[in-house]
Amino acid sequence: MTESTWDPSKPILEIENLSISFFTRMREIPAVMDFSCTVMAGESMGLVGESGCGKSTVALAVMRDLGKNGKIVAGSIKFKGRDLTHMTEEELRHIRGSEIAMIYQEPMASLNPAMKIGAQLAEVPIIHQNMDKAEAWALARQIVADVRLPDPDRILHAYPHQLSGGQQQRIVIAMALMSKPALLILDEPTTALDVTVEAGIVDLVKDLGVKYGTSMLFISHNLGLILDVCDRLCVMYSGEAVESGNVREVFATMRHPYTQALFRSIPLPGADKNSRPLVAIPGNFPLPHERPQGCNFGPRCDYFQDGRCNAAEIEMSTVAGDDRHQSRCLKWQEIDWNAPMQRKAAKEKTPVGRVVLKMDDLRKYYSVSSGAFGGGAKKVVKANETLSFEAREGETLAIVGESGCGKSTFAKVLMGLETATSGSIMLFDENVQSTPIQKRNIDTVSSVQMVFQNPFDTLNPSMNVGRQIIRALEIFKFGTSDEDRNARMLELLDLVKLPRAFAERMPRQLSGGQKQRVGIARAFAGGAKVVVADEPVSALDVSVQAAVTDLLMDIQRENKTTLLFISHDLSIVRYLADRVMVMYLGHVVEMGTTDQVFQPPYHPYTEALLSAVPIADPKVTRKRIVLEGDIPSAMNPPPGCPFQTRCRWKSQVPGGICETQMPPVQTLAGGHQVKCHLSAEVMASMEPVIKIAAE
Amino acid sequence: MLIFIARRLGVMILTALALTFIVFYLTNLPPNLEKLARTEGSVRMTDEAVLAWIDQNGHGGSVFGRYAQWIGLAPGWVLTDEKGVTRGRCINSTNTPETAATYCGVLQGDWGFSTVFKKPVAESVMQKLGSTGWLMLAVMLVMVPASLLIGVLSGMREGSRTDRVLSIFSIATTATPEYVSGVILVAIFASATAGISPILASWGWIDSKTLFLGTATSAMDGITFWNFALPVMTIALYGIGYIARMTRASMTEVMTQQYIRTARLKGVSFGNVVMKHALRNALIAPFTVIMLQFPWLLNGVVIVETLFNYKGFGWTLVQAAGNNDIDLLLGCSVVAVIVVLTTQLISDIGYVFLNPRIRLS
């Protein structure tokens, strides 16, 4: 089919009443039910929802790549008026890559590791336009330049592993654009990337969409990102679209209880752990074969009405007055959407006690060798440089930074998994800096514990939950008998708000949030005084994140634990941290209370970081500061200030000392520390990055 | 690269020394030497005479000293007996005690004298190794392409009918030991009374009594399809199944990777997905296995060469072991050790070139 037979005023993509099921030996599992959406030419459509809601399945259905088990059981997908569901493999092959292209979540995994970048790019026009090889490579070079990659010639001859994550994702985008497709499907394109890199990619995608007039189907779990990129959105829950409409309208006047609950569970500016805590969505996501009768969200909904909401299947109904705004709720006209949310009781702020952990001038260097066969010059990676801080009892100290900034190395050194190169770590007046974990005594080990990022990998799959916690108690030599430990284990399950019956369950029977609770219970088994939480909620869904964060805060209040919260997510850091430490390339560039760090004056890196985080609130305006280039390699840091290669304030420092001298730590009002050459006057002239419009 | 190879060569030499010492120690245990004395001297020697013979023929002293002599790092033994005849390690029919070299070991190229073949060890081992080399080459030429083809075909569509048929074939062949498959092949193709040969002969399609020759002795002089096919197939069948299973596992894994989905959704046809995108990635794992087949072949030929009476390396090894030919056994072990270590070095280097991500350290 050619352009001439298709009328550009008609939708590019029209999905009608689509139902998709996966067939296993046991049963048919419906993944998507009665899904409809329309994407017009040049429009970008967002698909939002938690994991398992079927948003990726919709994308793969458009590509007709559902695998052996997946089948479209009803409905149609029309692309430029032609029904994709009845196309043969051969017809599909002509559409894939040329008219519909896809961008994936994991850029590293989606590029062929054994093929040069140029060959992978050039392949697209060679297949679809019968272009000859030289011409295709020339086009590839031009598109690589279009996605703003430096030195396109070198990149074309590189292998994927030689590029950074952000560069790889730009290549995947370039690959999708090689034949100027009419529709671009983006499946969580930035989830695996750092925020500052994400900001660059998002800008690029928006600009290219305008430049090439491409329509987009943008899949994400991140509401802020959808607000940034999309014109329209469709919220999905458990295989159904529950609300769809114009992005700004839906964000401002949502008409489905799930959308509302979702917004209340994410930390927007203004939320605070003590005065305005987040509201988690109660209950769990229903499994695909255990969906309730009637409204799928019914059992978790605040407005649920027995006998009505669970009586029959609910159709999408149009919200009058708005631009194609639809909601799958029977009661949307009855609910008072402007009613203020039921405030949870505000909680006491935890009093901050004595200093329990003190790090002084800590350094951690690794030496690595380069070269394919061992040999080559030995290089020193400075993972941590002159790290000094104190953490007090009952305090939450957040450590923020992008991948490679040294925050995980710091955690390893504190835990004793690695020993520091120099400097001291004082834990309750005891120097543990050079004691590896094997040589620490049980008291020290049990008082410093860790909650890990990925709850799916940290539990032993062949041991039940109770046994795993008891094992930790045995190691910490808790109690004198098995009964003691068993009783303590049940108490710990109570502490993390899991039913006692869960002691008998195997990890595979738990959901992600429940597993993370077990991880927390294990960390607190020995009465930990200092808990290092390394991205504890980043692998969890938004609605579960709120509950797990709340739990951590509650336990902290009760036990006066010192929490070191390592995260790249500034929204959650603003919500729960008392003090924040920002790291860049192994250096602490800024440290202060949460208010100090999130208000000007900023360190230039903090400023960029703040502006890069998408915020799901149309009332918030933020300044866009996109950092150029990638984080320099820690193996080869720039001379002078580590941030000077990407800093937009560099010209404000006289004499170019940024490039030659390591900046001193300036202490501003209230003990706020900033490692920067900028003068006090320039700092004072900084404007806030985020402004909230008056309500 | 050069440093890496130098370091690997160093490790190889140490490994070779350790392995040859173990073989040397085991072949030079006292009972072996007594047996040697009785076969070389006289069967009816008294126990005292045996001990004297051992001493006088340079088999006395510490095992380390003798090992050093064999390697060529210590001077060879020289003894003058009561009759005034001087004999020594380095003295043989071509030289006199005066002209003989002080050192004569493996390093000097003197590998000893084979008591079975009545020839210098180096000569007979090299000649036999050449014969086995031809056999191994033929096996590799059949086995590698066939197994990769079967592996890729069955791995590219996991669970399909092609996959199941080829998997059954490869599991069956790899589960059949050579001494079974060899006998079966001989019975079917090379028997004048059983299998297909009598039928073909009665139809007048073949001139001789059998289709293939049941022995490969004539291949020593000239290799033909008819005398070489059966031993080659016997060894190759087992290896085909094994490598095909490895390739299939690697291929099925690669086919589930996301970059294969990327290629598919780029509009690449299935054939090109397999050829251009999957193949190179899928060959990384089987490459190591193929290189490991060289040492395995060196051992595997023992059974097949004996079965088909092909006088190669394996056959020599059997002869040497069966006749307590110490020098020949040691020579064979040196060759085997060198072949194993060299192929592993090649395998590691080749791996780096096949897989652009790998960095050896």
Task: Note the pLDDT of residue A694.
Answer: 56
Q: How confident is the model at residue A369 (pLDDT cuts 50, 70, 90)?
A: low
Query: Which residue of chain A has the CA closest to B269?
Result: A93
Q: Among residues of chain B, what percentage have pLDDT more than 70?
A: 98
Residue B139 Cα, gap to closest chain A Cα (Å): 29
Task: Note the pLDDT of residue A1.
Answer: 42
How many other C-beta atoms are found inside a 10 Å radius of the C-beta of residue B258? 16
Do residue B4 and residue A374 have CB atoms under 8 angstroms apart? yes
Q: Which amino acid is at B118?
A: K
pLDDT (average), residues A504-524: 83
- Average the pLDDT over each of B14-28, B206-220, B282-296 and give the range with the smallest value: B206-220
Question: Over the stretch B186-226, which tens digit does the pLDDT of each residue have?
Answer: 888 888 787 787 788 788 777 777 777 778 777 777 788 88
Residues of B in contact with A110 (CB under 8 A): 258-259, 261-262
Do residue A109 and residue B360 have CB atoms under 8 angstroms apart? no
> Which domains, ranges and CATH numbers included, belong to chain B?
2-110 (no CATH), 122-360 (1.10.3720.10)
Question: Over the stretch A171-225, which tens digit does the pLDDT of each residue have?
Answer: 888 888 888 888 888 888 877 777 777 888 888 888 888 888 888 888 888 888 8
N-to-C CA span, chain B: 11
Do residue B265 and residue A94 have CB atoms under 8 angstroms apart? no
The sign one gets for the Cα dihedral A178, A184, A190, A195 is: positive
In sequence order, what are the residues at sequence separation of 6 or more whose Cβ sits closer than 8 angstroms to the Cβ of residue A362?
A384, A386, A387, A388, A410, A413, A420, A422, A423, A424, A425, A433
Residues of B in contact with A172 (CB under 8 A): 262
Task: Note the pLDDT of residue B165.
Answer: 93
The predicted complex's ipTM stands at 0.74
Residue A312: burial class (beta carbons within 10 Å; 0-12, 13-18, 19+):
exposed
Residue B232 Cα, gap to closest chain A Cα (Å): 34
pLDDT at residue A385 tops 90: no
Do residue A127 and residue B4 have CB atoms under 8 angstroms apart? no
Do residue B269 and residue A93 have CB atoms under 8 angstroms apart? yes
Task: Note the pLDDT of residue B150.
Answer: 92
Do residue B356 and residue A161 have CB atoms under 8 angstroms apart? yes
Name the pTM for this structure: 0.77
pLDDT at residue A125 tops 50: yes
Residue B60 Cα, gap to closest chain A Cα (Å): 46
Burial string for A52-85 (b: 16+ CB within 10 Å, else e) reads bbbbbbbbbbbbbebeeebebeebebbbbeeebe
Query: In a mutagenesis test of the B interface, which of A63, A93, A131, A373 is the best target, namely the one with the most B β-carbons within 10 Å?
Result: A373
Measured distance CA(B1)–CA(B113) in Å, rounded: 40
Measured distance CA(A366)–CA(A380) in Å, rounded: 6
**Residue whose entry in the numeric block shows the structure tokens 């949460």:** A594
Task: Note the pLDDT of residue A3.
Answer: 46
Do residue A114 and residue B261 have CB atoms under 8 angstroms apart? no
What is chain B's length? 361
Question: Over the stretch A647-659, which tens digit does the pLDDT of each residue have?
Answer: 888 888 777 788 8
Query: Which residue of chain A has the CA closest to B265?
Result: A96
Q: What is the mean pLDDT of chain A?
A: 82
Task: Note the pLDDT of residue B166.
Answer: 92
Query: In a mutagenesis test of the A interface, which of B262, B272, B351, B359 is the best target, namely the one with the most A β-carbons within 10 Å?
Result: B262
Task: Note the pLDDT of residue B359.
Answer: 55
Residues of A in contact with B356 (CB under 8 A): 113-114, 159, 161
pLDDT at residue A4 tops 50: no
Residue B278 Cα, gap to closest chain A Cα (Å): 9
Residue B303 Cα, gap to closest chain A Cα (Å): 39
Task: Note the pLDDT of residue B164.
Answer: 92
Question: Over the stretch A448-463, which tens digit does the pLDDT of each residue have?
Answer: 888 887 777 888 888 8
Task: Note the pLDDT of residue A5.
Answer: 60
A572: three-class secondary structure by DSSP: helix
How many other C-beta atoms are found inside a 10 Å radius of the C-beta of residue B165? 13
Q: How confident is the model at residue A437 (pLDDT cuts 50, 70, 90)?
A: confident
Question: Over the stretch A624-645, which tens digit does the pLDDT of each residue have?
Answer: 787 777 777 777 778 888 888 8
Burial string for A200-221 (b: 16+ CB within 10 Å, else e) reads bbbebbeebbeeeebbbbbbbb
Q: How confident is the model at residue B168 (pLDDT cuts 50, 70, 90)?
A: very high
Residue A240 Cα, gap to closest chain B Cα (Å): 25
Residue B162 Cα, gap to closest chain A Cα (Å): 16
Q: How confident is the model at residue A375 (pLDDT cuts 50, 70, 90)?
A: low
Do residue B262 and residue A175 have CB atoms under 8 angstroms apart? yes
Do residue A159 and residue B268 have CB atoms under 8 angstroms apart? no
CB-nearest to B360 from A114, A115, A373 is A373
Question: Over the stretch A391-415, which tens digit does the pLDDT of each residue have?
Answer: 888 888 899 888 777 887 888 888 8
Task: Note the pLDDT of residue A343.
Answer: 62
Residues of A in contact with B264 (CB under 8 A): 65, 96
Task: Note the pLDDT of residue B111.
Answer: 79
Residues of A in contact with B358 (CB under 8 A): 372
Task: Note the pLDDT of residue B361.
Answer: 42
Instruction: Identify the contact set of chain B against chain A, taking CB-CB distances under 8 A.
Output: 1, 3-5, 7, 159, 257-259, 261-269, 276-277, 280-281, 352, 354-361
Instruction: Identify the contact set of chain A against chain B, taking CB-CB distances under 8 A.
Output: 63, 65, 68, 93-98, 101-102, 104, 106, 109-115, 123-124, 127-128, 159, 161, 172, 175, 369, 371-375
Query: Which residue of chain B has the CA closest to A178?
Result: B266
Question: Over the stretch B296-340, which tens digit does the pLDDT of each residue have?
Answer: 787 778 888 888 888 888 888 888 888 888 888 888 888 888 888
Do residue B357 and residue A175 have CB atoms under 8 angstroms apart? no
Measured distance CA(A18)–CA(A30) in Å, rounded: 11
Do residue B267 and residue A161 have CB atoms under 8 angstroms apart? no
Residue A235 and residue A256 in contact, taking contact as beta carbons nearer than 8 Å:
yes
Burial string for B346-360 (b: 16+ CB within 10 Å, else e) reads ebbbebbebbbeeee
Task: Note the pLDDT of residue A2.
Answer: 45
Task: Note the pLDDT of residue B206.
Answer: 74
CB-nearest to A110 from B259, B268, B361 is B259
How many other C-beta atoms are found inside a 10 Å radius of the C-beta of residue A682? 14
Query: Which residue of chain B has the CA closest to A102?
Result: B265
pLDDT (average), residues A261-266: 84
Strand pairing class (A562-567; A396-400): parallel
Measured distance CA(A267)–CA(A289) in Å, rounded: 31
Residues of B in contact with A158 (CB under 8 A): none
Residue B359 Cα, gap to closest chain A Cα (Å): 5
Residue A223 Cα, gap to closest chain B Cα (Å): 26
**Residue whose entry in the numeric block shows the structure tokens 């990890």:** A507
Residue B140 Cα, gap to closest chain A Cα (Å): 26
Interface contacts A/B by beta carbons within 8 Å: 95
pLDDT (average), residues A421-425: 82
Query: Which residue of chain A has the CA closest to B361?
Result: A374
Do residue B262 and residue A111 have CB atoms under 8 angstroms apart? yes
Residues of A in contact with B261 (CB under 8 A): 65, 104, 110
Q: How far is residue B67 from each of residues B61, B104, B179, measured CA to CA in Å?
A: 10, 12, 36
Residue A611 Cα, gap to closest chain B Cα (Å): 32
